[in-house]
Chain A
């Protein structure tokens, strides 16, 4: 077969972003998937976004990715979340139509220049001299029989999700499958093992699906969409919903629900010992929640409509691997679901994940050059986590194929960077889900400023097209002009009378409009009023997104400055590079535990080294001292 620069294996949320970014950067890219009709499939819930996940989806979008754009077209529901929790936490949660989203993704993939879609299964990857040279495929329907087809390439990105040795559990029933209706991939697991990849068993689960017409909605209050919460993408001024947005409905588990679960724990695949895989700590099954939060007699349940016109309702909050009979019994103890009809039971999937400690911060395997891994395969859970890794792997696989230096994603500029650093530095013990608490500089990493953090980078590496770039530059200019006007317009004591007229406290000295905005009662609209009654000209942008930036920056000015100082300090350590072949034995006083961990993980910077669990701070001090001394010595030698 013809040669490709980059071959992406898999076309889920990681695979899509990986393939599109590589192709958009101008590289000849192939995407191999077992079923073309399953591109962009949403096997679990229909939601994109939510706390921390919304941030990552926006970041993928800001870099020139696809997730946010398609969400705006497939949108069925959107609302704000975390609004009372603070500027860094609030974001949006969207629901997309599960039929439409994959359909649009397929169209996008098919029409993407430089991208070839291949329906086949990758059986193994060929390497020579420690580098990837190509992949072997077989046609999915007859792959045991046909001879292998070889595709030569420079980079390979594996985004196989839960497909490696996938095993579905529903009560005591086991099926060899990656997810409902898809066969698993087995030979690739063996190939990875042979390469020396540490594979571990993880599990994830999904909820039962219930019939909409069997729900008593009088007992499950509707949460209406907030159409002005969108659009999701920085590229759009509006969403493109095909009908009036849907609500979702809220209900809760009851004491009876918990009783049934308690009585049937031995039925649960998780608790009967049948599943060896480790489940997600932060997206737990209902069995987990009942056992772990035994003090709570009720958990929130959200009913989410999966498609525009379908009957299937996703029962958010009730992920389970109990038997179908028990599932229906417990569902019927939930208010509104007393007579519910279960269309499909929930199930758990066990799969092989590859230890991300064997990856570089650019998601390339340390075992073979040119092999990249992204998505659920790396031990994460969630579409947004997958998409975030997909774009990092896509960009760096493309850079590798072009012989260009890799692109870093630091912790202080994106949640994506936090995630990648966590994965390759700390590893994962259970499926990794992004949480806002994982980001130490999160006030700077808001969902509303993802474009300001990442679009310039996206442009530099060739991912951001002219349209997005023009919109971005225009918004930036408006923000800058607005800032200048706010900082150069003032009130002083002579305006106090007029301020009093509109219920504003007096000023004791000259104050800029920017400073006035730190008052809780003052927003941009109020400033426009103040400008008017004091006969001053204030220039403010018309665009609501630009206005939002001005308001947030003024309101949280002090906190932002404080956090910037913290980030700058952390940056110093992240900018101290450790030479790639650094011999830690040279540090004579280093502890054995640190030596072993540093030697194995091979951090690229002192910052990364300092975040490895179990590496002693005193050893980091030693490392810093050593690197500084070597550097100053090198300087002295050069002087001499």
Chain B
């Protein structure tokens, strides 16, 4: 079984440097190019057997051959393991290109897997999520997505819209012959679909935390120990921590894996009026970062207490967790969390709080991705238009325009309305070597 397409090559491991990197060749010439650049395959080499040998670059390593139909892409393939230095990787890639391979584009291996019927589009989307999964929770989500749970929900919504459209169409076409057709009250039916879409969008908010990480902004007055807290959680000195207030002039983002949960901590500049231009910009950015975070941790110095300015901020951000730091220096109210970034006291309480945010989370529910969210929002807008038309003196026929548009949007999620744009979009977000 020969491939229809040319032979492509790219590293399928990260950019390195690493101990070992793997380069994949895929296409009808994969074996022949593989043999040209790797001298380790015996003439009667068996597929899916690991061979040791030298590369034409002078390096040495391992090679595996895959038969068409039994590889990731579905095409004849070779995977070569070499030392993971930049020079070694680039050298071997050049050798492959010289022997007639073409550098693979982002997503091209997966695209070929799709074109060769190894996976369908839904799976391709899930593959991307799986590849990008950094934590166990993300992995679970990707797996659920691959099982098509979201598609079932959306298809059901689409069926409901079809039912509403059918009612409109029947009244439009047959009133002349069989008398006026009773449309019934379509409002509750439209509302029910809209509510379900809203629920999905909300769910996607919590799912986004799993997929993109729980974003926690650490805010508070200067020198309250925000950076010390971050460092305590990271277990390393990442932010500059000094005794001079206002040291963290911009904000710093750090990523953490807390027992399989992905967390992004944002250390912000201290909130206070500052005359220093650079610092004021930092403060503005901090406020913006806080506004976009999933959770705000407001850290203050228990020895100093809360200022009027702090109280105002907390009024505006009622969802914030108030953390009294330096509890050895002062008392704090019972509804607040007391810690000592210095000694580590109370840090466990914070970690438990993070885990709670993930527990009972979206793992068991279908979750829309960014692409899905766009279509859901548009479908919702179209349904609102249809409802508006049906409840206005305008002829009902016009509502059909919006109902059809809503169906098309939902179809883009399930793949019922396959479009070139959608397919391009799915593969566009992949990186090279995937």
A residues lining the B interface (CB < 8 Å): 50-52, 81-82, 84-89, 289, 293, 296, 298-300, 317, 435-437, 440, 442-443, 520, 556, 559, 562-563, 566, 569, 572-573, 576, 586-590, 610, 617-618, 620-622, 624-626, 628-630, 633, 636
Contact = CB atoms under 8 A, between A and B. Distances in A.
Nearest to A633: B5
B408 interface: yes
B173 A437 contact: yes
A621 B395 contact: no
Given A435-B173, A590-B117, 12 more contacts: A86-B394, A293-B178, A443-B397, A556-B398, A562-B401, A562-B405, A563-B401, A566-B401, A566-B408, A618-B415, A621-B121, A636-B102
A621 B415 contact: yes
Interface in B410-431: 411, 414-424
Contacts of A572: 419-421
B397 A86 contact: yes
Contact of A617 (B4, B74, B418): B418
B114 to A, nearest CB: 6
B172 to A, nearest CB: 5
Nearest to B1: A588
B268 interface: no
A618 B416 CA distance: 8
B239 interface: no
Given A559-B398, A621-B423, A587 B415 contact: no
A440 B4 CA distance: 37
Contacts of B420: 572-573, 576, 624, 628
B188 interface: no
Given A573-B419, A586-B4, A51 B117 contact: no
Contacts of A618: 120-121, 415, 418
Interface string B115-133: 1111011000000000000
A24 B392 CA distance: 48
Place the interface of chain B in its size category: 35 or more
Which interface residue of B179, B395, B416 has the most chain A CB atoms within 10 A? B395
A556 B402 CA distance: 13
Contacts of B172: 51, 82, 85-86, 89, 436-437
B307 to A, nearest CB: 45
Q: Which of A562, A573, A633 has the most CB of B within 10 A?
A: A562
A33 B423 CA distance: 53
B169 A50 contact: no
A258 to B, nearest CB: 14
Nearest to A573: B419
Interface string B337-371: 00000000000000000000000000000000000
24 contacts: A82-B172, A89-B172, A293-B178, A299-B178, A435-B173, A437-B173, A440-B404, A443-B398, A443-B401, A520-B393, A559-B398, A566-B404, A588-B115, A589-B114, A617-B411, A617-B416, A618-B121, A618-B418, A621-B120, A622-B120, A625-B115, A628-B424, A629-B115, A636-B6
Nearest to B4: A586
A300 B179 contact: yes
A349 B245 CA distance: 96
Contact of A52 (B118, B173, B175, B417): B173
Interface string B149-179: 0000000000000000000011111011111
Given A566-B404, A588-B117, A84 B423 contact: no
A87 to B, nearest CB: 7
Contact of A569 (B102, B114, B402, B408): B408
A563 B420 CA distance: 19
B401 A621 contact: no
A589 B178 contact: no
A572 B423 CA distance: 13
A576 to B, nearest CB: 7
B190 to A, nearest CB: 17
Contacts of B400: 442
Contact of A625 (B111, B398, B421): B111
B254 interface: no
B95 interface: no
A624 B169 CA distance: 31
Contacts of B121: 618, 621
B212 interface: no
Contacts of A633: 5-6
B395 A625 contact: no
Given A621-B415, A636-B102, A51 B4 contact: no
Contacts of B401: 443, 559, 562-563, 566
Contact of B179 (A50, A89, A299, A636): A299
Contact of B397 (A88, A293, A566): A88
A345 B269 CA distance: 93
Nearest to B382: A562
A89 B395 contact: yes
A274 B400 CA distance: 41
> Would you list the 9 A-B pairs with minimal beta carbon distance, nearest first?
A589-B117, A86-B397, A86-B395, A437-B169, A588-B117, A621-B418, A620-B418, A435-B173, A618-B120
A85 B183 CA distance: 12
Nearest to B178: A299
B396 interface: yes
B114 A622 contact: yes
B408 A300 contact: no
Given A86-B398, A636-B102, A624 B423 contact: yes
B415 A86 contact: no
A569 B412 CA distance: 12
A169 to B, nearest CB: 23
Contacts of A50: 176
A563 B418 CA distance: 18
B423 A300 contact: no
Given A436-B172, A622-B117, A633-B6, A85 B423 contact: no
B326 to A, nearest CB: 57
A441 B163 CA distance: 18
Contacts of B416: 617
B74 A588 contact: yes
Contacts of A436: 169, 172-173, 397
A300 B398 contact: no
Nearest to B180: A84
Nearest to B179: A300
Contact of A87 (B170, B397, B415): B397
Nearest to B113: A589
Contacts of B411: 617
B143 to A, nearest CB: 19
B279 to A, nearest CB: 42
Given A566-B408, A589-B118, A624 B418 contact: yes
A83 B5 CA distance: 56
A317 B179 CA distance: 12
Contact of A589 (B116, B414, B417, B423): B116
Interface string B37-70: 0000000000000000000000000000000000
A606 to B, nearest CB: 8
A443 B396 CA distance: 12
Interface string B96-124: 00000010000000010011111011000
Contacts of B177: 300, 317
A296 B395 contact: no
B388 to A, nearest CB: 11
A572 B418 CA distance: 11
B430 to A, nearest CB: 14
B66 to A, nearest CB: 15
A562 B114 contact: no
Contacts of A566: 401, 404-405, 408
Contacts of A317: 177
Contacts of B179: 296, 298-300
A22 to B, nearest CB: 33
Contacts of A82: 172, 175-176
B396 A86 contact: yes
B418 A89 contact: no
B347 to A, nearest CB: 49
